[in-house]
Amino acid sequence: MEVLKIATAGSVDDGKSTLIGRLLYDTKSLTTDKLEAIEKKSKQLGYDYLDFSLATDGLVAEREQGITIDVAHIYFSTANKSYIIADTPGHVEYTRNMVTGASTSQAAIILIDARKGVIEQTNRHFFINNLLRIKTVIVAINKMDLVAFSEERYNTIKSDFETLMGKRDYQDQKISFVPVSALKGDNVVNKSEKMPWYTGKTLLENLESIAVQDIYNVGAPRFPVQYVIRPKTEDFHDFRGYAGKVYGGELSVGDEVVVLPSQTKSKIKAIYFHDENVETASRRSSVLITLEDDVNISRGDMIVKANDLPTIDKQFTAIISWMDDQKLTASSRYIVQHGVNKVLAKVACIHNKINPDYSGTEDTVDALGMNDIATVSFKLNKPIFYDAFKNHRTNGSFILIDSQSNNTVGAGFIQ
């Protein structure tokens, strides 16, 4: 069954957790025990409705403050698809958590409170989705019940968001709009009878219509070697295969390839998918490849097409989302983990800090604090082979690791 990873984004009290709880409830994905717990807790709190946000807000601090802090992953399925929802925090102080939750998602739901409309935090959420090149974005205009299910209010918010869309640099995003009331269940799973003027798809229908083959950005094929397989049995005495996952494009038997970093040329001899011998390895398939020539390859090497090499260099510039309470400064040293490869890196220059509400940049910055997003240049102790993130999400991203604490302190997107 197809699996779709979705990130939610919205300001505090826009109703993200309630929306997810409603999705779970209306798709009958809540267990009896969980539903009884929600009913009991809702009564204790004096509500005359079921508080579906209780289905997701797991931390004690979250329950006390009524906000999402950490990234919660929620799983549910329909007859057609399985879903993993990353419920990311909406508050500006937890921007790093939103980047973390959205970085592995293939689609996003941006919530807007129909009473407040497009606000500064909406700009921030759209900026991050644009930065992370998330291809499908559904804008759920929530709490329509509190604006009397007004078509005029919906159209005003939709128009304001379309103005915001003019500031994006990722034009391939597919954006749709749905007026919903998560609390009442309108247009979440079932069509609303209170908004007959809306003839589009419900939120779930939008999710169900996303074709998995369209959610990934197409790029040059990259095959980072995860494991070298040498059975050393009588039947496979000289067998040498390279296991990994194909990202970006397709690889076929007979393709001329280059192995990085040695830059040794060869041709693909055979491709195995499970126990089948196939002619072509499709995008994001996990396969085993053999080459016509006996090439020295180890874990972390990359097989690419001969006419489509990535950049091979000891320096790069990237947009960084800083996640640590210790500041990033010029000349600081970290470990860059790019795929399975780790190299030592030195901060060469902090070019500017980016205001993720589309209000511009700050060009005189000497340090980055937690939740800052900035353009930073690095110098490495040895070359890596990378693509620009806008061309290749997998081969254009990395994380920064503090060598002292071993903590992940930042996420980067190569320019």
Taking only the tens of pLDDT, the chain with its 415 residues reads 788 999 888 887 788 888 988 998 899 888 888 888 888 888 888 787 777 777 765 544 444 455 455 667 888 899 989 999 888 776 666 677 788 878 888 899 999 999 999 998 899 889 999 999 998 999 999 999 999 999 999 999 999 999 999 998 888 889 999 999 999 999 999 999 999 999 999 999 999 999 877 777 778 999 999 999 988 787 777 889 999 999 999 999 999 999 999 999 999 999 999 889 999 999 889 999 999 998 899 999 999 999 999 999 999 999 999 999 999 999 999 999 999 899 999 999 999 999 988 888 999 899 999 989 999 999 999 999 999 999 998 999 999 999 999 999 999 999 9
User: Quick check: 361 and 128 in contact, CB under 8 A?
Assistant: no
- Nearest residue to 134 (alpha-carbon basis) of 162, 99, 167: 99
Contact partners, residue 103, CB within 8 Å, separation at least 6: 132, 397, 411
Specify which residues 335 forms β-bridges with. 344, 401
CA pair distance 374, 362, nearest whole angstrom: 9
Strand ranges in 204-340 using DSSP code E only, listed in sequence order: 222-229, 241-245, 251-252, 256-260, 264-273, 276-278, 280-281, 286-291, 302-305, 311-322, 328-329, 333-338
SS3 call for 223: strand
CA distances to 68, 210, 311, 349 from 377, in Å: 33, 36, 15, 5
Structure-block tokens of residue 232 = 């050393």
Residue holding tokens 């994001």?
A: 284
CA distances to 144, 198, 207, 355 from 194, in Å: 10, 9, 22, 39
Structure-block tokens of residue 24 = 């779970």
* Rg (alpha carbons) of the chain, rounded to whole number: 24
- C-alpha distance across the termini of the chain, in Å: 35
CA distances to 34, 42, 114, 190 from 48, in Å: 18, 8, 22, 22
CA pair distance 311, 266, nearest whole angstrom: 19
| Amino acid (1-letter code) at residue 138 | I
What local confidence, expressed as pLDDT, does residue 61 receive? 47
User: Quick check: 100 and 20 in contact, CB under 8 A?
Assistant: no
CA pair distance 200, 133, nearest whole angstrom: 25
What local confidence, expressed as pLDDT, does residue 274 receive? 86
Q: 146: part of which helix (H) or strand (E)?
A: none
DSSP-derived secondary structure letter, 348? E
Residue holding tokens 């090497």?
A: 301
User: Quick check: 414 and 389 in contact, CB under 8 A?
Assistant: yes
Residue 143 region by backbone torsions, left for phi larger than 0, else alpha for psi between -120 and 50, else beta:
left
CA distances to 72, 82, 103, 178, 192 from 203, in Å: 20, 15, 22, 6, 11
CA pair distance 295, 2, nearest whole angstrom: 36
User: Quick check: 383 and 261 in contact, CB under 8 A?
Assistant: yes
CA pair distance 176, 162, nearest whole angstrom: 10
SS3 call for 159: helix
What local confidence, expressed as pLDDT, does residue 15 receive? 86
SS3 call for 225: strand
